[in-house]
Amino acid sequence: MSALFALASDTLTLLCRRRLFWLNIWLSVAVVLAVASMSCRPDGLSFGFGLKSWPSSYLTKGSPWETTLYFGVVRRTAQWWIVGAAPFLALFSMATVLPKTLKSGQAALVFTKSRGRTEVLLGRFLGGLLFAAIPALISAFGLFLTLGWRLGVWESRLFLAVPFALLLFAALAAVAVLLGVLTKSSSTALAVTLLFAVSVFALQDAASRPSPSDDENEIKGLMHSASGGLVALQSFAWPLPRTQELMEGMDRLLGLRSPLLFRDLVRRWRIGKLRVGAAATQVLEANQDAPAEPLTPLKLSEAILVTAGFSSLTLLAAAMLLNRRDL
């Protein structure tokens, strides 16, 4: 175990020396500062710590819309940055680790008699997870301080976004490790892993059941004919990482439920910029989207187990392939 932790520490040190690591760190700080720079005043909203202001009669200090604004922005920042963009940036560095390790010069130093190949692979993988955890922790801590500063709400559940980010990153990192062993090419491993990530997201989006339509009689025949293909698509997508379900589950566990709907705030903002009349405003505000089917704890547990199982099986395949390769 000591050798495994030593390899993980060595991998973390190696990755932290690269420019992409500092780019990820500074971008995380910039995202947090952008959220923190928003403030509601008695006369409206300001951005950039007071550099830009917009007068508003409803988005004011102490109003329910202020809580809606901050909760909505923080929730989307957790989804799009902590679990989305930040792990993708970390993947650019992670995909190069194992192919460089397998080069003849480094392989002679790393793969010694005292170190098994599986141990080296797991050490590199764990070091990559620690590497991805750093910007996620910085972002979560920054958003935690922002909510406490602006609203007086100290929501520690924001740190739950970190394990969700690492779970999704682990699935992609495992694919990158497998491709690194298979091809010994950093660029190929990165390109195919990114293509895999996009394909999984698109496949799960296509496999999700469509929302009910108002005119069900019109599409009844079409849905009946497509039901067989939909079931096949869902069966194919079932063992893959559950990106959408994990995102929904994280959002539910964060518990940032605002008194008003965030989409209503966005709709009000757009209506105000259009300067339409009161009658048109009521019509537009009445156009609500149909609520999505809630994610149950059982479905979330299944999504976590399936994603973790996918990562484990992919790493197992990479270890078996590495043990059979000539270095």
Neighbouring CB atoms inside 10 A of 299's CB total: 15
pLDDT above 90: residue 30? yes
Neighbouring CB atoms inside 10 A of 65's CB total: 22
The dihedral sign for the CA sequence 211, 236, 176, 167:
positive
pLDDT above 90: residue 311? yes
How do the domains of the chain map onto residue ranges? 2-211+226-260+296-324
* pTM metric for this prediction: 0.84
What's the one-letter identity of residue 100? Answer: K
User: Band of the pLDDT at 140, cuts 50, 70, 90?
Assistant: very high
| Better pLDDT: 212 or 169 | 169
Helices (H), the chain: 2-16, 19-36, 64-77, 86-94, 97-101, 104-110, 117-151, 161-183, 186-207, 216-237, 243-254, 262-274, 278-286, 297-324
* Residue 217, pLDDT score: 46
pLDDT above 50: residue 219? no
| Better pLDDT: 206 or 84 | 84
Count Cα atoms within 13 angstroms, Cβ side, for 157: 13
pLDDT tens digit string along 64-120? 999 999 999 999 999 999 999 999 999 999 988 888 877 755 555 566 644 678 888
| 8 Å CB contact between 306 and 242 | yes
* Residue 6, pLDDT score: 86
Q: Which of 149-153, 188-192, 208-212, 267-271 has the lowest mean pLDDT?
A: 208-212
> How high is the mean pLDDT of the chain?
82
| 8 Å CB contact between 65 and 143 | no
pLDDT above 70: residue 299? yes
* Residue 3, pLDDT score: 78
